[in-house]
Chains A and B, each alone.
Chain A
Amino acid sequence: MSAQLIRNLLLVILATLALSACSTTKKSNNLLQGDVYTGTETIEYLATGVPDRVFFATNKSVLTTAARDTLRKQAAWMRKNKDISVTLEGHADERGTREYNLALGERRANAAKDYLMTYGISGNRINVISYGKERPVNSGSTPLAWSQNRRAVTVKAN
């Protein structure tokens, strides 16, 4: 009886180890840093070398180093193309309450807008809209999908 119990316990421990091994391999695929998406799969380009979006950590609107790098490229592109105005779309993943996510999307879009403005882009050229969690780009329910959905996307408005 007790031998069987120990065997069962060992099985559980083994299963747990196997599972955690799985999750470490997933993390090491270089698409996530913390839980911020660092891949290129969903990105579109406003111009050659100018990615259209930046990604955020769960519940956060702080710009990562990579996000700031992208936004500086966008600002340079907008400075060169003075007639262009943009809409910054803020988004959240599906793992938050709808109303809070609307506010969070707005905060993310504004974080990106503020950064563009510090690089010389007039606020008049930047419109902001939040979609909360209403317009995911990846419809999966996985950490990777959620990381791709936590984003602020710069879209040409004219």
Chain B
Amino acid sequence: MIKKILFSLVLILLFKQQVFAITTIDITRGNLDPLPIAISPLYMSEGSENIKLDNSVNQKNVGEKISEIVEINLKRSGLFNPLNKSAFVQKPDIAHLKPRFEDWRLIKAQVLVTGKILIKEGKLRVEFRLWDVVAAKEILALAFTTVPNNWRRVAHIISDKIYMRLTGESGYFDTRIIYVSESGPKTQRIKKLAIMDQDGANTKYLTLGNELVLTPRFSPTAQLVTYLSYFRNLPRVYLLDIETGIQEVVGDFPGMTFAPRFSPDGKKIIMSFAQNGNSDIYTMDIETRVVEKLTDHPSIDTSPSYSPDGKYICFNSDRSGLQQIYIMRSDGSKVKRISFGKGLYGTPVWSPRGDLIAFTKVSKGRFYIGVMRTDGTGERLLTENFYQEAPSWAPNGRVLIFYRETKSDSEGKGFTAKLWSIDLTGYNEREISTKTDASDPSWSSLLSGN
């Protein structure tokens, strides 16, 4: 049994949610008109205990810091336009009790967030309300009690609640990204596994950089990661428990295993095994250790990814001569090619919503991140660049994260590798700041399952 969440979160529904949302956002189109939202700083209730959370965060400013994170999250989603606080007329504590809607309408806010904080008996209690300014009513009110160190997660959970209330879809803010941190010259690149919150905070390194590590992927159900390590110069797929730090080789293969991913139930690892110049796709059941061979073809079959219902697998293969995307049943039967456009297609990843496959396309020396339906129709290219690949879906299937490399001159100068995200609509392309160069990102599930 694996502990699902590190801490317990008490969530109290204060008031019943309204059935009809008055202010809603359509997130299926490119949003050129983000929703104006006023985020009033969370105020500290009287009688709160003194506390130090961080170098710069204490009981005096933790409310502001939480509001700030909510603001940044919502702004980065591209769907919201957080308004400048200097224009706010009403004080945070009074607004939280009963907003004077005409004041908020005056600064063109359509929704308003208010809240308060109490630190008592070593616990942090955060209460927030979401108001529809246009309709002049409350549309959401929630409170959380947790340990004070979780203040950042509270901010992400609040962001998810607001996103969900206003878009009708679950959010992706209370999530983490695992990736490969890179440093050093291209010819002797040092790579470490790194993990961070979705907004780039709380970076932690999981390996020391002594051996090459590649392509980490989160388990959808547990605090586990699977990745490729060159430990002792034997490239093999590993399974790492993030909480205990314990890791082990996956399976007992007489050669390189690579390109691992979890099945949607978290019970199997699917990967490639290369032998005698031929790569085929295998699965291993984590508990029973039973290994199954799914493809048997003299070509390169790799980058497998399950459909969210676990019934199908997409992968790329060069059996036609060039790298293309195929799907098959999860028992390896009914292999069918789905990509037929001009160029090469690789790294297919099935959307968590099930309807789309994201991929990397290479055409005329340029690299694209795109999506197509699972039968290969409806191809849409979202972004084009010198080099970019390896898309990974946000848990709500609305945003993709990938990595991009820049061109280097003949001495190798000018090279960078960075993480980027883009909405499924093709809008809202953003760099995700990391402490070092970064590649191979993988997005976690929602940590709190909200």
Contacts and interface: CB of A to CB of B under 8 A. Distances in A.
Contact of B279 (A103, A140, A142): A103
B264 interface: no
Contacts of B235: 102, 129-130
Interface stretch (A45-53, A74-82, A89-97): A89-97
Contacts of A111: 277
Contact of B323 (A100, A128, A138): A100
A73 interface: no
Contacts of A138: 187, 410
Contacts of B302: 99-100, 102-103
A141 B362 CA distance: 16
B178 to A, nearest CB: 15
B215 A98 contact: yes
Contact of B258 (A96, A103, A107, A109): A103
B259 A102 contact: yes
Nearest to B315: A99
B297 to A, nearest CB: 12
A99 B216 CA distance: 12
Contacts of B346: 96-97, 99-100
Interface in B53-74: none
Contacts of B233: 129
A110 B235 CA distance: 16
B307 interface: no
Nearest to B406: A141
A139 B390 contact: no
B378 interface: no
Contact of B276 (A61, A110, A131): A110
Contact of A134 (B212, B274, B276, B387): B212
A140 B408 CA distance: 5
Nearest to A137: B187
Contacts of B120: none
Interface string B328-349: 0000000000000000101100
A139 B185 CA distance: 8
A108 B276 CA distance: 10
B400 interface: no
A31 to B, nearest CB: 13
Given A106-B274, A139-B408, A99 B303 contact: yes
Contacts of B188: 135
Which 5 A/B pairs are nearest by Cβ-Cβ distance? A139-B412, A110-B277, A139-B186, A103-B279, A97-B346
Interface of B: 185-189, 212, 214-215, 228, 233, 235, 255-256, 258-259, 272, 274, 276-279, 300, 302-303, 316, 318, 322-323, 344, 346-347, 360, 362, 365, 386-387, 389-390, 405, 407-412, 415, 439-440
30 contacts: A59-B323, A61-B277, A94-B387, A97-B316, A97-B360, A97-B390, A98-B440, A99-B259, A99-B302, A99-B303, A100-B303, A100-B318, A102-B302, A103-B272, A103-B274, A106-B274, A106-B279, A107-B274, A107-B279, A129-B233, A129-B256, A130-B274, A131-B212, A136-B186, A139-B187, A140-B412, A141-B408, A141-B409, A141-B415, A142-B410
Given A110-B277, A128-B255, A141-B408, 7 more contacts: A94-B405, A97-B303, A98-B215, A102-B274, A106-B255, A106-B256, A134-B214
